[in-house]
Amino acid sequence: MELELRHLRTVRAIADTGSLTKAATALGLAQPALSAQLRRIEKALGGPLFDRDHTGARVTPLGELVLERARIVLPAVSELQEEAVRFANAMGSMERFRLGGTHGPLLGGLVDRLATAHPAAPVSTYTSWSVAEIASQLVDGRLDFALIGTCGESAPPDADRLEWQVVGVDPVFVMLPETHPLSGRGELELSELAEECWADVPGDGCFADCFVAACARAGFRPVSVYETDTSSVVHLVQVGRAVGLCRATFPPTPGVVTLPVAGAPLSWRHLLGWHPRSAAASAAAGAVSGHTRAAYAQAVERSESYTRWLATHPGFGAPV
């Protein structure tokens, strides 16, 4: 029998769980089938890899040698597979732009600028609420660039494998209907909205927890929070069913007023990401970054309330 990668995964699973029964469950095999496979592996390698009794399975010196090699080989093969898929998916260089993003205000602006600057290059988009999903598409080479947001200073996904550049930092504003008694204010205390229902868009980051924590510091717990798509958030605000949470760059919307919260208890970082091992993306990153910053600057200019606010809060906006 020739040794295969699945055999090394079997040995590693038994060592990690310390039990053939637990390893069989983890591998989705019947325990007798795993025992028979282990016997064949041990025969091929010349001796027992585990001492087995009623207490479990303990690695022998030969097993330690095999495990040491397996812990090098398996990650290396996994990395090779990822890189091969990424290379295959990235063929064609920047003859096209495959963009991913969460449902933020900048993706449309970036598409417009890239389509104008590169009229012969197709531009495609993929959106998801999940920043982890967008990042995985970058890792696999199915996307060239991604526009995502992270709450406060929280780390972006796959930060050890992907390159992330900060495009801008926005405070989180509140959205009120124009008819709301507080809509004419220049700034609000979060506590003034303690009796309101809230609405925002979902995500897989820490924003929901950070919002509840900010409310707790302001002395209240939110009555209810509707997590829904952007259009529904806007509708709930317009009809007075809820107040909304939005990035300060949220575009002007009929019937809605966006206002800053005193002390800016919540913030949002806009990030542009790409894979540093993608030669095509790395070569184009400077130009794409420039287009993204321009799209962000345009989004800021569209909001009069945010432009006024930035004049006295230099720690926000585009990085200097």
Tens-digit pLDDT string for the chain (320 aa): 788 888 999 899 999 999 888 988 888 888 888 889 999 998 988 999 899 888 888 999 998 999 998 888 888 888 777 766 655 554 444 578 999 998 777 999 999 999 998 888 899 999 998 999 999 999 999 999 999 999 998 999 999 999 999 999 999 999 999 999 999 998 999 999 999 999 999 888 899 999 999 999 999 999 999 999 999 999 999 999 999 999 999 988 999 999 999 999 999 999 999 999 888 888 889 999 999 999 999 999 988 889 889 999 988 999 87
Please tell me the predicted confidence (pLDDT) of residue 91: 41
Q: Based on the domain organization, do 67 and 116 belong to the same domain?
A: no
Neighbouring-strand partners of residue 244: 175, 199
* pLDDT score recorded for residue 92: 44
CATH of the domain at 75: 1.10.10.10
Enclosing domain of residue 23 = 5-89
pLDDT for residue 85: 65
Length of the chain: 320
How far is 191 from 218, CA to CA, in rounded Å?
Answer: 5
Helices 5-17 and 61-89, axial angle in degrees (round to 10)? 120
Last residue of a domain, one of 37, 67, 89: 89
* Number of domains forming the structure of the chain: 2
Helix H segments across 228-316? 230-238, 279-302, 304-310
CA 141-146-152 angle, 5° bins: 135
Same domain, 81 and 131: no
Which two three-digit tokens encode residue 128? Answer: 């998801």
- 265 and 190 fall within a common domain: yes
C-beta separation of 118 from 144 below 8 A: no
If asked whether residues 13 and 110 sit together in one domain, one would say no
Same domain, 99 and 61: no
Provide Rg for the chain, Cα atoms.
26
Q: Which of 69, 89, 109 is the last residue of a domain?
A: 89
Contact 273, 156 (CB under 8 A): yes
Predicted model pTM: 0.71
Q: What is the CATH number of the domain that holds 166?
A: 3.40.190.290
Same domain, 71 and 164: no
17 closest CA partner among 71, 57, 69: 57
How far apart, in Å, are the Cα atoms of 304 and each of 21, 26, 108, 190?
A: 64, 56, 20, 21
Residues 26 and 97 in one domain: no
Identify whether residues 51 and 22 lie together within a single domain: yes
